[in-house]
Amino acid sequence: MDVALVTEWFNTSDGGVAGHVKNLAVILKKNKVDVSVITNKMKEKNDSNLQIYEIKGIKDPLFKLNLSPVITKKMVKILKDFDVVHCHHAFARLPLAGIRVADKINIPSILTTHTVSLFPDANYLWHPLSYGYPRYRLQIVKVKEVIAVSRSAKTFIEYFTDKKITIIPNGVDVKRFYPRNKAGNNERPVISYVGRLVPKKGVHILIRAMKNIVKKYPDALLIIGGKGKMKTFLSSYAKTIGLKENVRFLGYIPENKLPEFYSSSDVFVLPSITGESFGVTLLEAMASGTPVVGTNVGGIPEVIHDSGLVVESGDPKKLAHAVITLLDDENLRKKFGRKARGRVEEKYSWDEIGKKIINVYKEVM
């Protein structure tokens, strides 16, 4: 079975979609599936032993989508010998071109949707808007099957298609992320976040919550991993509200350092305020046995379920209260850590996710 994975983003620092595709490629190879990746020109060296086809082109400055007028022509040459074309992200140019070309050359295609947008539950808004883009609907209908990574992502893509949608979530490498002895300084309470530093992630809310947390734990430390356009603002904001010694920015954290990052944390927080279809970093923290706090946004409550705390988004006081609740109670932290690890092993191991996706490939063939 020869499978092409088509993705707009594949660099390590490109976020959740890139990580999902990389891990899926690894598990497919492990299961003796021949897999190649079609993506934009890479910024980093390919050390993954994967066959990568790069489609060069000018990118738009906001979403980094390939604007090349010859994408379709190039895609035809690449995809003609594959058995299945698996496109990732429902609203990007390369995957949509992959769907169009696969249909043209009579190869079955699958679409995995990874995203939700602003106000995803606003049916009165998105349902009529979706009909304002008839060409988009006509492309989506060409796929053999649509996969959504969460119920939230499923609900959002249903505005744009009447096709049956299967939920297969993101996965996590449970052999790489696992409970281990707490790294770093055990004497100082450590709260952590890792991800892009953009408004929708709500890191500014988490920093504001730290103002309340340090009233109870003056030496508490928030460590923030990741990069993004809000970095300068967030750093200045932390200093302005008197948290210079309580907030530390680590920048981009390499993949091989992430397990240690989660292990150094007493509590991991994902404070998103909108547009969060899943939250892969939650899985990594949960697999590491680190208790988590998330917001009631998108797929976050679905991932955490009863193995962590979920609070209202955009409310720094409630976020602070949840973190303090965990810092106050070591037994509760251990309880949630165990439950989180068990939940990940049962529902989100890449070994299990990979099998489900391979079964979809067999069905569409």
Please spell the DSSP secondary structure of 53-100, one letter per residue: EEE---B-TTT--B--TTHHHHHHHHHTT-SEEEEE-TTSHHHHHHHH
| pLDDT, mean over the chain | 89
Q: For residues 28 and 156, state if they share a domain.
A: yes
Residue 49 — very low, low, confident or very high, per pLDDT cuts 50/70/90?
confident
Is residue 126 in a domain? yes
Kindly report, residue by residue over 324-348, the tens digit of the pLDDT.
999 999 999 999 999 999 999 999 9
The residues that bridge with 144 in the sheet, in sequence order, are: none
Question: Are residues 214 and 137 both part of a single domain?
Answer: no
The CATH number assigned to the domain holding 232 equals: 3.40.50.2000
CA distance 207 to 320: 10
Contact 322, 300 (CB under 8 A): no
- Count of the separate structural domains present in the chain: 2
- Considering the domain architecture, whether residues 307 and 287 belong to the same structural domain is answered as yes
Whether 223 and 340 map to the same domain: the answer is: yes
Banded pLDDT at 128 (limits 50, 70, 90)? low
Domain housing 159: 2-171+349-364
Q: What pTM did the predictor assign?
A: 0.87
Domain co-membership, 127 together with 72: yes
Task: Enumerate long-range contacts of 54-61, CB under 8 Å, 24 or more apart.
Answer: 55/94
Shared domain check, 274 and 357: no
Q: How many Å apart are CA 80 and CA 94, to the nearest integer?
A: 16
The answer to whether position 181 is within a domain reads no
pLDDT of residue 127: 60
Check if the beta carbon of residue 308 is closer than 8 Å to that of residue 285: no
Q: Are residues 150 and 272 both part of a single domain?
A: no
Same domain, 278 and 354: no
Same domain, 225 and 143: no
- Same domain for 336 and 269, yes or no, is yes
Looking at the domain assignment, is residue 323 inside a domain? yes
Q: Does a structural domain hold residue 118?
A: yes
Within a domain: 184:
no
* Of residues 11, 8, 5, the one with CA closest to residue 45: 11
Do 106 and 33 fall into the same domain?
yes
CA distance linking residue 192 with residue 225, whole number of Å: 8
Segment among 28-42, 60-74, 89-103, 237-251 with least mean pLDDT:
60-74
